[in-house]
Structure 1
Amino acid sequence: MSLVLDAPIRQEYEYTVAAPSLRAADPVLPLARRAWQQGWLRKTFILILLAALWELLARWQANDLLLPSFLQTGQAFVDGIISGELLDRVRVSLSVLLQGYVAGIAAAFALTALAATTRIGRDLLETLTAMFNPLPAIALLPLALLWFGLGKGSLLFVIVHAVLWPLALGAYAGFQSVPDTLRMAGRNYGLSGLRFVLHILVPAALPPILSGLKIGWAFAWRTLIAAELVFGTTAGQGGLGWYIFQNRNELYTDKVFAGLAAVILIGLLVEDVAFRPLEMLTVRRWGMQR
């Protein structure tokens, strides 16, 4: 007789599984705190605070000849825009600046590309930057006047000098920091000379190049204004620096401050409209910069 063993029957239990607890939603921040997290709003607040301090200081001093108030300067700025005088001076300055800036970029790129591909080019760049980079561009203005005369040529000469060396140094430092693996990859694809620079070195060194472009722009802008303060007329028209100089001679201090405000506003616009979107589209988008 065969013995059949049945498996023991376990008692069944029913467990109720609780639903997973939902993570508490992030608390809704107050409107003021959410607004304060916006960078543009914080900067606007700083500008308003500076304008208020300026107005209070001018009213306390009570001397329009030395320090006009913010409201007086704003009125002079608006009047200059409406009459078209200030806009014409800005147009003349930006036209000269753009020509000199582009020429300086081209010269810096040619010099840096030569330095990145040949030994003699590297020695040339190091020697020239050591000689001319410490030399202020405005110090060359007497020579520029002697060589090119009273006009646009002298302004372009000092602007190119202001742009060339900081941009060349920034680009060359970026080229030097390119990893050897990228260089070997480019050579494995048969790249050399200008193609090697454009396809390998320039994309890898983009953050230092953009920094050099911003520094070159700042140097060029203030060099142009300083040069226009000295002579400033090109083809019978004066630029923004000449506008400031003329109004200083005629003791229109509010117009002097309006011209200085135009210089500052143009600098802010170039930074926020030109360079910042360019960084967002390139180095920040690719994770090359925070």
Structure 2
Amino acid sequence: MSDVTEPLSGLAGREAEPTKASGRLRRALGSPFARRAYVLALLALVWQAVALWQNNPILLPTFTQTAAAFADSVANDGLGGYAFASVAVLLKGYLLAVALALVLVSLAVANGFARDVLTTLTAMLNPLPAIALLPLAMLWFGLGEKSLIFVLVHAVLWPFALAALSGFDSVPETLRLVGRNYGLKGPAYVAKILVPAALPAVLSGLKIGWAFAWRTLIAAELVFGVTSRQGGLGWFIFQNRNELLTDKVFAGLAAVIVIGLVVDGLLFRAVEAATVRRWGMQR
């Protein structure tokens, strides 16, 4: 009887291995990264088809022409240096704005008058386009990195502060009572009670601030483009537009998109997976 059972168990094991492999393959193909790759591939096909139908590379180069221009710009035109210059300035302005917003929101949570000040400033300045402040920034700080950081802080500070304050206001009263029972006050109360409970709103605010920062930076660089004596991606786009090199204009835009996708896919999604999704706060 054992002689018959052993071959059958071995056969069942061999049948289970392909089943496990196919299951892993299905999970990989159904992962968020794979679904995003499907969307990107579909967009690339539509782009290629529309560009071929229009047949005017000055107005709309094909996807393959843009990919070739992107590779050539990286190899010969210093596109990587332009991207590094932009990202370096963006991170300075973004991190400074986030730090200032957290301080303002913490004060608003602890004090009613500070809350009135923050909500009033947000209502006044949040609708004001950051690029509209660029002439003033150039007058106050000159032509350079400080002007860009000023407009970046304005672009990120108010939407992130509004999102963080809304998240803190939505924290259940039960959690607030727990913090008070443990004697938490001030920064400790904000860091240990409010921030973890409001993390979905905080992360959403960080994403919105990142998108606003990119828009503002590229628009500002299109005006004067110099960041620490080196042009950024906006300046790269502007220069190639003047020379009617539309494929390289699209290559510069593609660099902005690629950086945005990398930050969203590797940074924000990783933080969400390790925090709010793992804790069951977000689907």
TM-score for the superposition, normalised by structure 2: 0.88
Q: Distance in 2 between matches of 1:221 and 1:111?
A: 23
More displaced stretch, 53-62 vs 74-83? 53-62
Letter in 2 for 1:52: L
Q: 1:147 to 1:277 in 2, by over 3 A?
A: same
Partner of 1:128: 121
CA offsets 1:178-222 (integer angstroms, 9 cap, x no match): 112221221121111111111111111111001000000000011
Equivalent residues of 2:164, 2:202 under 8 A apart:
yes
Partner of 2:194: 201
Corresponding position: 1:82 with 2:78: no
Alignment of 1:99-178 (within 5 A): 99-178=92-171
Partner of 2:90: 97
Secondary structure of 1:285 counterpart: coil
Aligned residue among 245, 264, 272 for 1:279: 272
Partner of 1:249: 242
Equivalent residues of 2:86, 2:227 under 8 A apart:
no
Q: Distance in 2 between matches of 1:195 and 1:35?
A: 41
Q: Distance in 1 between matches of 2:278 and 2:88?
A: 31
More displaced stretch, 32-41 vs 240-249? 32-41
Larger Rg over CA atoms: 1
Structure 1's unaligned 5+ residue stretches are: 1-25
More displaced stretch, 48-57 vs 194-203? 48-57
Q: Identity of paired residues, percent? A: 62
Q: Distance in 2 between matches of 1:40 and 1:188?
A: 43
Aligned residue among 199, 206, 214 for 2:207: 214
Partner of 2:227: 234
Partner of 1:262: 255
- Normalized per residue, which structure has more helix? 2
More displaced stretch, 231-240 vs 29-38? 29-38
Corresponding position: 1:64 with 2:57: yes
Alignment of 1:14-25 (within 5 A): none
CA offsets 1:145-204 (integer angstroms, 9 cap, x no match): 111111001100110011101110111111111112221221121111111111111111
Equivalent residues of 2:89, 2:227 under 8 A apart:
no
Letter in 2 for 1:208: A
Corresponding position: 1:42 with 2:32: no
1:37 offset after TM fit, Å? 2.9
Letter in 2 for 1:203: P
1:285 offset after TM fit, Å? 0.7
Q: Distance in 1 between matches of 2:27 and 2:280?
A: 26
More displaced stretch, 91-100 vs 116-125? 116-125
Letter in 1 for 2:95: V
Q: Distance in 1 between matches of 2:23 and 2:99?
A: 51
| Alignment RMSD (CA, Å) | 2.0
Structure 2's unaligned 5+ residue stretches are: 1-18
Secondary structure of 1:266 counterpart: helix
Q: 1:193 to 1:35 in 2, by over 3 A?
A: closer
Letter in 2 for 1:71: T
1:34 offset after TM fit, Å? 6.5
More displaced stretch, 182-191 vs 112-121? 182-191
Q: How many residues align?
A: 265
Letter in 2 for 1:257: F
Secondary structure of 1:277 counterpart: helix
